[in-house]
Amino acid sequence: MSCLSRELVLLVAVAIAIPQSHAALRAGTAIVDITPKEWPLPLRGAFHPRIVDSARDPLHVRSLVLDDGKTTIALALVDSCMVHREVLDPAKEQISKATGIAEANIMVCATHTHSAPFSNAIHGTPEERAYQKLLLAGIVESVSSAAGNRQAATIGWGSHELTDEVFNRRWHLKAGKMPANPFGSKEDKVKMNPPRSADVLDRPAGPTDPEVSVLYLKDERGRPLSVFANYSLHYVGNTGPQASADYFGEFARLMQHRLPPRAGNFVAMLSNGTSGDINNINFRNPRPRRAVFEQIGVVASKTADAATHAIKGITKTSGEVKLAMRQREITLKHRVPSGELLERAKKILETPLKPSERKTLERIYAERTLELARLAPDTRVIVQAIRIGDLGICTLPFEVLVEIGLELKKKSPAGDTFVVELANGAYGYLPTPQQHELGGYETWLGTNKVQLDASEILVGNLLEMLNELF
């Protein structure tokens, strides 16, 4: 080989070895209205039917697409109690075909408002089927539009604590105060939403996570472009006899006024953190009764204030960040009811329900026991890990108890991490094995459907994925 040839080979080798810098970050946003057009509709999120014929405030799909020149990821937030894979899988397929974004790089989560229609058309009415079609189309349109709206952007992230609106709803009670559960057992050691009485309450069964985490983007003129926030608080409720986006939608509306002057396509969104055992009820010091939607406004305003504080505290923004994403589909075993429980459930359901009679909790869980027995032996669930610069995001398709989110934050190799629940499906509650030992609503057979060590399996996979990314 000639001297010139060797020099050319060496130059090529050096060029290959030098890491290529990331192109300037581009970000796109979009918001699509998914308020039902055909009524009446049942609302998700209650033991007993709630049929409504209007919406108090609009429901939306809000989307953010990020592109670093090598990797494109999409984050979509749906004003829904939960969105099932029968909607999500075809939506992601259509988005990928329309935009070129890999299906594994698309995250779609539900806010968990308890005042939105079912996503899975459970009753099969024409109105439900029409809404399911509208929902699917709205997800596709929102993400596809965001992908088409990409522009140069800078990004940063931060957090601020909001402690006085999160309370663990699982409580140890004083001796002799624990009622029987719907399975006829008094073996539960904790109760969800116990009576607000000093004579009954002992201590909470778990912690809270007060962190309001914020991903913040500006356009090339320095105007606010998007806020993707995360807070570990269940829905607030008390929306009246109408559909509503709950405090998640009100937060998005308020943020438009917290950050002027905004880009014309500014979109704010609030995702649900690990809040399976966290709500807005102060059991030791109950608040005065408030009017319909009033408490939603209070919580939304405080959350918007916390997000604004977090944004003001961001000291570093960049127009060049590394994006990466990992997805795994994990097989989990379904829990199997014992023969004794099945026989008890059948016996309960032998007596027909009178037309004017409401279902008891005992009857509801008898039905769930039989439903669980009819399920396939296992199910496959999607978990995702996302890298945005030094920020990590994890997703889980469950209502996740707060300890799990705190563990992921603690063990994550990323500089900062937050966790989005009810993403890419909905499979019930996800307690830790330790919380399973305590019993209570979140652990009951039918509320929790998967194997008792599922949280350990999923956390292990997410940490492996994060370590691959960082």
Average pLDDT over residues 176-194: 96
- Mean pLDDT calculated for residue range 241-269: 95
pLDDT the model gives residue 22: 55
Please check the confidence at residue 26 and state whether its pLDDT lies above 70. yes
pLDDT higher than 60, residue 18: no
**Residue 2 pLDDT more than 80?**
no
Based on the domain organization, do 411 and 369 belong to the same domain? no
Q: How confident is the model at residue 146 (pLDDT cuts 50, 70, 90)?
A: very high
**Does 175 reside within a domain?**
no
pLDDT digit string, tens, across residues 78-116:
999 999 999 999 999 999 999 999 999 999 999 999 999
DSSP string across 324-382:
EEEEEEEEEEBP---HHHHHHHHHHHTSPPPTTPPPPHHHHHHHHHHHHHHS-SEEEEE
The number of folded domains in the chain is: 2
Q: 359 and 216, same structural domain?
A: no
pLDDT at 23: 72
The tokens of 122 are what? 């459970």
Is 70 exceeded by the pLDDT of residue 431? yes
Confidence tier at 1 by pLDDT (50, 70, 90): very low
Residue 14 pLDDT level (bands cut at 50, 70, 90): very low
How do residues 336-356 score in pLDDT, each as one tens digit?
A: 999 999 999 999 999 999 888
Round to whole Å and give the CA distance between 372 and 446. Answer: 6
Same domain, 404 and 302: yes
**What tokens appear for 460 in the block?**
């292990």
d(CA 134, CA 88): 13
Is pLDDT of 16 > 60? no
- pTM of the entire predicted model: 0.94
Q: Is the pLDDT of residue 194 over 70?
A: yes
Which residue range is the domain that position 445 belongs to? 26-167+204-330+377-469
CB-count burial class (<10 Å; 0-12, 13-18, 19+) for 47: exposed
Domain presence at residue 14: no
Classify residue 9: in a domain, yes or no: no
pLDDT exceeds 70 at position 19: no
What does the block give as tokens for 337? 């009811």
Rounded Cα distance between 330 and 82, Å, is 19
Q: Are 42 and 139 within one domain?
A: yes
Partners of residue 268 on adjacent β-strands: 227
Least confident segment among 95-104, 129-138, 282-291: 282-291
Each residue's pLDDT tens digit, 362-386: 999 999 999 999 999 999 999 999 9
Examine residue 416 and state whether it is found in any structural domain, yes or no. yes
Report whether the peptide linkage leading into residue 194 is cis, meaning its omega lies within 30 degrees of zero: no
263 burial level (CB within 10 Å; 0-12, 13-18, 19+):
buried
The answer to the question of residue 113 being in a domain is yes
In our burial notation (b when 16+ CB lie closer than 10 A, e otherwise), range 11-26 reads eeeeeeeeeeebeebb
Looking at the predicted structure, is the pLDDT value of residue 257 above 80? yes
Phi-psi region of 237 (alpha: psi -120 to 50; beta: other; left: phi over 0): left
Q: Give the span between the Cα atoms of 252 and 258, in whole angstroms.
A: 10
Give the helix ranges, DSSP H, for 18-68: none
Closest to 241 measured CA to CA, from 455, 42, 23, 453? 42
